């Protein structure tokens, strides 16, 4: 723990201050082109988490919130002798919810930095308000590739992530299906969300490039319950594998109904990290057995993850609810290190934090030791270590155990 912190500080020390013109000398508050946040001597440093906390996908956001809370506890709840106040905002895993949360967070001038969003749709809806307010967010689980594309719009200036890009996830699933399962005819189903639409397309492109064939690409509504019509159409195209990287509710309906559709009884079913939660197994029931889910490769996480898990379980009262708690832990620590680096302390204990300086410091993160890997941020905001694995749901998980024990791919 101590070593990691020392390493982080050393790494930060190696980087020159950017945008902070006054230096850490006493009473002159720093100037900053995006504004300066002033934290009074007895005020807490306000950080906010935003992501889905209600509805069928609540576990995705709640899991990351627990991860961030554990990270706060690990710092003793304090930064630079100020308490850390971590609040949360439900963004409902929709574009509208993200926009509402983004507007609310942008209007709160006590907030220093953000962790979130959970879903890519939330970022699409909320990031403009957040960037315009000069805030920076580190997302643990918004994985749509375009969010950190080098040519992304200026609205995304405040967006960084510890989550992998789905450019990697889609590729990993394609390789698994083609090289490991040795299947060549695939169907995809998405739900129109920024996440699923992009992920299934990456998969389709990679799978075709490997020599496979995409027999049909279908779409369902997020709130569709009767999947038989769409599955019948999919079955008509004769796939050997059906890839539906969507969310818990619709994904559960598809998994539960697929085996009853003639022609799909033997097709392999694959989902992705949005369904990597015990809620999905509950929703799909026994039909989930044998299904594959891609997710971050927990076996490739750093040694600190083993220490993290008991603390998480003490907080949540259960095993991890979803896949991105460690990414959220890391997101907090990126922000923590950046604040330590740029905050200027007045003689009375008041903290002055330049927004642009903080944003630049987050982007300048380099070789930070995290739970998910060694974190370095790219110029377009990718900070994570994209290691993907595929897990299989067995009778053990259907029986209520979680998470799956070891990945089925890659194995070594």
Partner 1 sequence: MQVRLADRLTDLAIAAFLWAFRLSVVAIVVVGSFLTLTSGKYNVDTWTGLVITGLATGSVYALVALGYTMVYGILRMINFAHGEVFMVGGFAGYFAAVGLSSLGVLNAGPLASLLSILVMMVVAGAFSTLIALLVERVAYRPLRNAPRLIPLISAIGASFFLQYSVKGWAGPGVYAYPDVGVLNELVPIDFVRIQWKQVLVVTAALVMMAGLYVFVMRTKIGTAIRAVSEDKATAALMGIDVNRAIVTTFAVGAAMAGAAGVLFALMFRQINFFSGFEPGLKAFTAAVLGGIGNVPGAMLGGLFLGQVEAVGPTLFLDGLGVPGASGLAKAIAFTMLVLILVFRPSGLLGERISGQRA
Q: 230 or 351: whose CB is closer to partner 1?
A: 230
Q: How far is the CB of 168 from partner 1 (least distance, A)?
A: 25
Q: How far is the CB of 312 from partner 1 (least distance, A)?
A: 18
**For partner 1, which is the closer residue by CB, 158 or 239?**
239
Shortest Å, Cβ 189 to partner 1: 8
Closest CB 109 distance from partner 1, rounded Å: 30
Q: Which is nearer to partner 1, 180 or 401 (CB)?
A: 401
CB of 176 to partner 1, least distance (A): 24
Q: Give me the least distance between CB of 236 and partner 1, in Å please.
A: 6
Closer residue to partner 1, CB minimum distance, 50 or 409: 50
Task: Write a three-state SS string for 160-195.
Answer: EECCCCHHHHHHHHHHHHHHHHCCCEEEEEECCCHH
Least Cβ distance, residue 400 to partner 1 (angstroms) = 12
Q: Which is nearer to partner 1, 217 or 328 (CB)?
A: 217
Instruction: State the residues that interact with partner 1 by CB under 8 A.
Output: 53-56, 58-59, 192, 217-221, 223-226, 228-230, 232-233, 235-236, 248-249, 252-253, 256-257, 260-262, 279, 282-286
Please, what is the minimum distance in Å from the beta carbon of residue 389 to partner 1? 25
**185-190 and 241-243 strand pairing:** parallel
As measured in angstroms, the least distance from the Cβ of 222 to partner 1 is 10
Spatial distance between the Cα atoms of 345 and 38, rounded to a whole number of angstroms: 10
Q: Which is nearer to partner 1, 95 or 337 (CB)?
A: 95
* Closer Cβ to partner 1, 53 or 385, answer by number: 53
Pick between residue 92 and residue 333 the one whose CB is nearest to partner 1: 92
Secondary structure string (H, E, C) spanning the chain: CHHHHHHHHHHHHCCCCCCCCCCCCCCCCCCCCCCEEEECCCCCEEEEEEECCCCCCHHHHHHHHHHHHHHHHHCCCEECCEEEEEEEEECCCCHHHHHHHHHHHHHCCCEEEEEECCCHHHHHHHHHHHHHCCCCEEECCCCCHHHHCCCCCHHHHHEEECCCCHHHHHHHHHHHHHHHHCCCEEEEEECCCHHHHHHHHHHHHHHHHHCCEEEEEEECCCCCCCCHHHHHHHHHCCCCEEECCCCHHHHHHHHHHHCCCCCCCCCEEEECHHHCCHHHHHHHHHHHCCCEEEEECHHHCCCHHHHHHHHHHHHHCCCCCCCCHHHHHHHHHHHHHHHHHHCEECCCCCEEEEHHHHHHHHHCCCCEECCCCEECCCCCCECCCCCEEEEECCHHHHCCCCCCCCCCECCC
Residue number, 224 or 302, with CB nearest to partner 1: 224
């Amino acid at each position: 723990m101590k070593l990691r912190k020392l390493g982080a500080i050393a790494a930060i020390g190696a980087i020159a201050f950017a945008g902070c013109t006054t230096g850490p000398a006493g009473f002159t508050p720093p100037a900053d082109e995006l504004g300066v946040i002033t934290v009074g001597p007895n005020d807490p440093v306000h950080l906010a988490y935003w992501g889905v906390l209600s509805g069928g996908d609540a576990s995705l956001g709640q899991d990351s919130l627990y991860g961030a809370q554990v990270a706060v506890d690990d710092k003793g709840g304090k930064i630079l002798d100020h308490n850390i106040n971590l609040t949360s905002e439900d963004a409902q895993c929709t574009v509208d919810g993200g926009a509402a949360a983004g507007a609310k967070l942008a209007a709160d001038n006590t907030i220093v930095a953000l962790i979130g969003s959970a879903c890519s749709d939330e970022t699409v809806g909320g990031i403009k308000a957040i960037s315009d307010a000069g805030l920076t967010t580190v997302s643990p689980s918004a994985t749509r590739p375009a969010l950190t594309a080098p040519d992304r719009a200026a609205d995304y200036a405040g967006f960084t992530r510890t989550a992998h890009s789905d450019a990697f996830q889609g590729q990993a699933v394609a390789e698994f299906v083609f090289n490991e399962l040795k299947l060549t005819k695939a169907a995809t189903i998405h739900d129109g969300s920024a996440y699923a639409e992009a992920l299934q397309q990456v998969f389709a492109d990679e799978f075709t490039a490997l020599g496979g064939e995409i027999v049909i690409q279908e779409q369902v509504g997020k709130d569709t319950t009767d999947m038989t019509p769409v599955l019948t159409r999919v079955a008509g195209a004769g796939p050997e594998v059906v890839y539906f990287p969507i969310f818990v509710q619709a994904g559960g309906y598809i998994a539960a109904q697929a085996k009853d559709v003639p022609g799909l009884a033997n097709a392999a079913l694959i989902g992705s990290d949005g369904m990597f939660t015990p809620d999905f197994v509950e929703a799909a029931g026994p039909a989930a057995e044998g299904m594959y889910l891609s997710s971050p490769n927990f076996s490739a996480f750093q040694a600190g993850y083993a220490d993290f898990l008991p603390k998480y379980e003490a907080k949540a009262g259960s095993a991890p609810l979803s896949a991105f708690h460690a990414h959220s832990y890391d997101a907090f620590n990126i922000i923590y290190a950046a604040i330590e680096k740029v905050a200027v302390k007045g003689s009375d204990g008041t903290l002055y934090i330049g927004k642009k300086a903080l944003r630049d410091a987050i982007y300048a993160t380099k070789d930070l030791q995290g739970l998910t890997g060694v974190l370095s941020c790219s110029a377009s905001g990718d900070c994570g270590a994209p290691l993907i694995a595929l897990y299989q749901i067995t009778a053990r998980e259907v029986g209520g155990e979680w998470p799956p024990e070891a990945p089925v791919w890659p194995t070594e």
